[in-house]
Amino acid sequence: MITPIQGFSKLTKEEKINWITENYTKNSAHTKEVLKVYWNSDTKLQKLHDEFIENTISNYYLPLGIAPNFLINNKLYAVPMAIEESSVVAAASKAAKFWLSRGGFKTTILGTEKVGQVHFIFKGDSKKLESFFNSIKPLLISDSNELTTSMKKRGGGISKIELRNKTADLANYYQLHCTFETLDAMGANFINSCLEQFAITLKREALLYSDFSNTEKNIEVVMSILSNYVPNCIVRAEVSCKVEELNEDANIKSSQLAEKLVQAVTIAKVEPYRAVTHNKGIMNGIDSVILATGNDFRAIEAGIHAYASRNGAYSSLTDASIENGIFRFWIDIPLALGTVGGLTNLHPLVKVALEILQKPSAKELMQIVAATGLAQNFAALRSLVTTGIQEGHMKMHLLNILNQLGATDKEKQLLTTHFKTNTVTHSAVVTAYNNLKND
Ligand code: MEV
């Protein structure tokens, strides 16, 4: 029987591995071997990875791929993508190449505002709270001077501190709703430090405020934390071309393709079941660049899906139109990204990814990420409304199936040729593989 363990984090790496493999796996020796195969032979590099988190036992690999030919605001990028799903990089590359000859992607930053909140309980007269807040506002700013000096020097800092009365939603609940400019940093540490300082000032000054009753003086701070919902940290990416230039496929007329693409987007706008999958396809592109560049994909995911629901129902993140013979396809998306700080200075592959992107600013990275998401959605929709998704997917999936079967390079080559003219299904691949083996 497995019993709980005390002090797991204090064990050495080797001891942790012994404990986990002996208690939770059938063949401890084999599991240990698998875990160790993924250790880096460079001990310094391995130590760096070990120390990213607690209780590290191995490294978890994802492929890092490149989608070249992304023309964004007339600059050519090769986009690094870290992802396991077989068809994603191919789809992004295909869409990038398609738009390369049609003017590329045009992107615009619509805002860079980050948000954080001090959530607190105040039992008393909200008018008095308002006067108190106005009187301590300069102190809230000056008390955090030490934290904000270097950010201010670079042109960022605290943009605004507002008192928000949320008592209609929850009794006695108020917030300091604060906005920040964090430039090339994602800014989580900066924002959280400022917020925690605001909370200290708020509590301290309330105790001294003579207009407050004793109850009112006791402001109860529940928590101080940044918000990953950043509806004013937005980038727009778009592509457009004449409708007659949209098609490369003789099986469908350009005008028909344009209309089907618009219909597909319209369905995702009104039908949440479809919108979720539609947006998932966009996230295939977005998450993989976010991961490759060492950004926080959970924060980005949470913020984007909240934004997709901003009008009360979950809806498409992309939009499409046909006007005066022009097909236009675009995305507005919230992205709080960093190109300095965090993993960006630590992870050697993240540094390489950022170098490949020509060391972008956070704003430039927002534009690259948005364009990749848009490209991914375009590729998915074009397949969905023409051939169907499985044709492309299964071709890419073929290699995964062959790897699972243990095919050699020669066998993979022969079977890839065979499936150029045959439909890929799991059972067809297994049969073809077995036939080849028995030949
Ligand atoms: C698969 O990872 C993504 C798609 O399902 C996206 C979509 O349906 O739009 C192909």
Q: Which residue's C-alpha comes closest to atom 1 of ligand 1?
A: 281
Residue 381 CA: nearest ligand 1 atom is: 9
CA atoms of 347 and 263, how far apart (whole Å): 42
Site residues for ligand 1, CB cut-off 6 Å: 85, 277-278, 280-281, 284, 380, 384, 389
pLDDT at 345: 86
Q: What are the CB-based long-range contacts (under 8 Å, 24+) for 409-412? A: 411/436, 411/437
Nearest 10 degrees: CA dihedral of 298, 304, 309, 314? -80
The 10 Å CB-count burial string (b at 16+, else e) for 63-93 is: ebbebebbbbeeeebebbbbbeebbbbbbbb
Ligand 1 pocket mutation pick from 260, 263, 280 by most atoms within 8 angstroms of CB: 280
**Residue 185 DSSP symbol:** B
Tell how strand 114-121 and strand 220-227 pair up.
Answer: antiparallel
Quote the pTM value. Answer: 0.92
Residue 377 CA: nearest ligand 1 atom is: 9
CA of 280 to the centre of ligand 1 (A): 6
Q: What is the pLDDT along the chain (439 residues), one digit of tens a residue?
A: 889 999 999 999 999 999 999 999 999 999 999 999 999 999 999 999 999 999 999 999 999 999 999 999 999 999 999 999 989 999 999 999 999 999 999 999 999 999 999 999 999 999 999 999 999 999 999 999 999 999 999 999 999 999 999 999 999 999 999 999 999 999 999 999 999 999 999 999 999 999 999 999 999 999 999 999 999 999 999 999 999 999 877 789 999 999 999 999 999 999 999 999 999 999 999 999 999 999 999 999 999 999 999 999 999 999 999 999 999 999 999 999 999 988 888 999 999 999 999 999 999 999 999 999 999 999 999 999 998 877 777 777 888 899 999 999 999 999 999 988 888 888 999 999 999 988 8
Cβ–Cβ < 8 Å for 24, 2: yes
**Could you tell me if residue 276 is left (phi over 0), alpha (psi between -120 and 50 degrees) or otherwise beta?**
alpha
Instruction: Write out the two tokens for 290.
Output: 């976010």
CA atoms of 89 and 66, how far apart (whole Å): 7
pLDDT at 83: 98
**Integer angstrom CA distances of residue 119 from 44, 104, 129, 146, 317:** 42, 44, 14, 23, 30
Cβ–Cβ < 8 Å for 346, 49: no
CA of 277 to the centre of ligand 1 (A): 6
Cβ–Cβ < 8 Å for 79, 288: no
pLDDT at 400: 86
CA of 49 to the centre of ligand 1 (A): 32
pLDDT at 388: 84
CA atoms of 45 and 22, how far apart (whole Å): 27
Q: Which residue's C-alpha comes closest to atom 10 of ligand 1?
A: 380
Does the annotation mark 393 as catalytic? yes
CA atoms of 126 and 106, how far apart (whole Å): 47
**Integer angstrom CA distances of residue 47 from 14, 64, 254, 346, 353:** 13, 21, 55, 12, 21
Does the annotation mark 280 as catalytic? yes
Cβ–Cβ < 8 Å for 62, 82: yes
Phi, psi of 35 (to 5 degrees): -60, -40
Q: Among the options 203, 280, 351, 412, which is catalytic?
A: 280
Phi, psi of 340 (to 5 degrees): -130, 160
pLDDT at 249: 79
Residue 264 CA: nearest ligand 1 atom is: 9
